[in-house]
Each structure stands twice: as structure tokens, then as C-alpha cells.
């Protein structure tokens, strides 16, 4: 039993040393180069990529690859206006009818 406790303590210490010793990626500066994750071209960081880094992104895309990605995203998403207006009409009517029924 004591051997198991010693082994667990050693494992926790080794984990803490490895976790603490691993350097986190430093914030990129404007103008620092990076390789585009889409096409591999060397590009310099700009406000968009630095802002993405601050929001948690660690893969960056050049302007053309980012534009292609945005086109794919907007083509996949429905606008949602019809659903919103349906809820806007249905919910109050349900509320009004429930007042008269009870």
C-alpha cells in the first residue's frame, strides 16, 4: 500500500513538472510571420489573426483561405428570419389563449 502511495506522489510530481515546464505559446505580435494552415504560405500576423489568438485560436489562415472559409460558413447557415417571425407570432398567441382557457 505504501508503495502505491509513493508511486502516486511521484507521478503527481512528474506531471506537475512537465505541465509547468511546458511553455505556452506566446501572443503573436503584428508582423510576426506564420504559416497559413490552409495553404502553407508564410504570412505576417495582422489584427485579425492576433484577435483570433486572443479568442483561443491557434491555427491561422491567410486572407484568401480565410475568405474561402467564411464563404463556406455563410452558405451553410440559414438566415433564421422565418423561424424568428413564426415564434414571434405563435408564442404570444399561445400565451393569450392560455389566459382565456384557465
Question: Is 0.75 surpassed by the pTM of this model?
Answer: no
Residue 20 domain flag:
no
pLDDT, residue 101, reads 74
- Give the residue among 58, 6, 72, 8 at the shortest CA–CA distance from 28: 58
Residue 40 domain flag:
yes
Instruction: Give the domain range for residue 82.
Output: 27-94
Q: How many domains does the chain have?
A: 1
Q: Which three cell numbers stand for residue 10?
A: 511521484
Q: Which three cell numbers stand for residue 66?
A: 480565410
pLDDT, residue 97, reads 82
Say which residues have a Cβ less than 8 Å from residue 30's Cβ, sequence separation at least 6.
Answer: 44, 45, 46, 47, 50
* Number of C-beta neighbours around residue 61 at 10 A: 22
**pLDDT digits 0-9 by tens, 20-62:** 654 566 889 999 999 999 999 999 999 999 999 999 999 999 9
pLDDT, residue 20, reads 62
Residue 10 domain flag:
no
- 66: pLDDT confidence band, cut at 50, 70 and 90? very high
The stretches of 1-102 forming alpha helices (DSSP H) are 2-21, 47-54, 63-76, 81-101
Residue 55 domain flag:
yes
Residue 82 domain flag:
yes
Residue 47 domain flag:
yes
Amino acid at each position: 500500500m505504501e508503495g502505491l502511495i509513493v508511486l502516486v506522489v511521484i507521478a503527481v510530481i512528474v506531471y506537475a513538472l512537465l505541465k509547468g515546464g511546458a511553455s505556452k505559446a506566446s501572443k503573436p505580435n503584428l508582423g510576426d510571420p506564420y504559416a497559413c494552415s490552409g495553404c502553407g504560405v508564410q504570412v505576417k500576423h495582422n489584427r485579425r489573426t492576433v484577435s483570433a489568438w486572443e479568442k483561443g485560436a491557434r491555427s491561422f489562415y491567410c486572407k484568401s483561405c480565410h475568405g474561402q472559409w467564411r464563404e463556406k460558413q455563410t452558405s451553410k447557415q440559414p438566415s433564421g428570419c422565418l423561424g424568428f417571425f413564426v415564434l414571434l407570432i405563435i408564442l404570444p398567441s399561445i400565451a393569450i389563449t392560455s389566459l382565456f382557457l384557465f
